[in-house]
Amino acid sequence: MNFEDYQYLFKFVLIGDTGVGKSCFLSQYVKGKFIQEYDPTIGLEFESKSIEFNDGIVVQNQLWDTSGSSQFMAIQKTFCQNAAAAIVFYKIDNQNSFKSLENWLSILKQVSSDMIQIVIVATHQDLETQRQVQTQQGRNLADSLNAKFYEISNHDKDQIDGIVNSLSYNVLRLINSNKINPLNTQYGIKMSRQQEQQYASQLDNSEENIIQQQSSPKRRGSDIKIEQNTFSPNKITTASPSRSQHENEQTEQNQQQTKPKFQLLFILLPIIIAYGLYQILL
């Protein structure tokens, strides 16, 4: 697979004290090689590895490893910026490395986005007899961060692959669910040019659909219906045909009863007037 043959590139950072196994983890993931001798990282380094998911999406995981020494603190803060995920390390046989996680997590909080994916990894699982940090301590810390927790041996490449690939899947899921925007560099994601064009096209189509829904005929029709119900007497009349017919019949009956009374009045009125005049003349 070519270096540029991917749809997405994710930036992952490996952080923790010196000697907790970050470089060995990186070597096992990318090269499948276990580092026998401890060789502290000076400054920082990174390696890349691409994986293909079942739907054909190719993701290149770019893992950045930095020295855990305090003299490289400025570099550590800089390289933690704009990361999609962070793998935070401590050793089960070193209590101080576990206590230092508070500082490492504080750095992440200062420079990373709220959507960064975090996993806590306890190394040297094969040194159980020298354990200083209990499993539950690490799990409780991970739970407080809503993060995954793993205890591993850096000899176990399959477990290491599973951790990184699971992180890639989670970041990809956030993109597909529109919870993060891959065009925003703060999320530690880079897209290939083709994927970027496709994503931008999808955004345009989504905006068009929203506009169409807001001005759709169905919605205008409902507004017209409300206006008719409010202002159209014809609409109200036709809604109760039986009642209307009864009211018409009652009106006609009342008119028929009133008509004879008016006719009799017109006949008697001249007689009454003539009788009154006759009495005055007498």
Average pLDDT score over residue span 5-10: 93
Give Cα 172 to chain centroid, integer Å.
Answer: 12
Q: Is the pLDDT of residue 275 over 90?
A: no
Report residue 235's pLDDT band, with 50, 70 and 90 as the boundaries.
very low
Predicted local confidence at residue 253, as pLDDT: 57
Average pLDDT score over residue span 197-223: 62
Q: Is the pLDDT of residue 257 over 50?
A: yes
Q: Is the pLDDT of residue 60 over 90?
A: yes
Q: Is the pLDDT of residue 144 over 90?
A: yes
Predicted local confidence at residue 209, as pLDDT: 59
Distance of alpha carbon 75 from alpha carbon 90, whole angstroms: 20
User: Which residues on neighbouring strands pair with residue 51, listed in sequence order?
Assistant: 59
Domain 8-206 class in CATH = alpha beta
Give Cα 129 to chain centroid, integer Å.
Answer: 44
For CA atoms 19, 168, 160, 51, give the dihedral sign: negative
User: Which residues on neighbouring strands pair with residue 49, listed in sequence order?
Assistant: 61
Residue % of the chain over a pLDDT of 90:
50
User: Which residues on neighbouring strands pair with residue 10, listed in sequence order?
Assistant: 61, 189
User: Which residues on neighbouring strands pair with residue 150, listed in sequence order?
Assistant: 121
Q: Is the pLDDT of residue 239 over 80?
A: no
Please state which of the ranges 31-40, 168-177, 247-256 shows the lowest mean pLDDT.
Answer: 247-256
Tell me the helix, strand and coil percentages in the chain, rounded to 5: 55, 15, 30
Query: Of 190-199, 213-222, 242-251, where does the model show the most confidence?
Result: 190-199
Q: Is the pLDDT of residue 49 over 60?
A: yes
pTM for this structure? 0.69
Quickly tell me which residue has 């000899």 as its tokens.
155
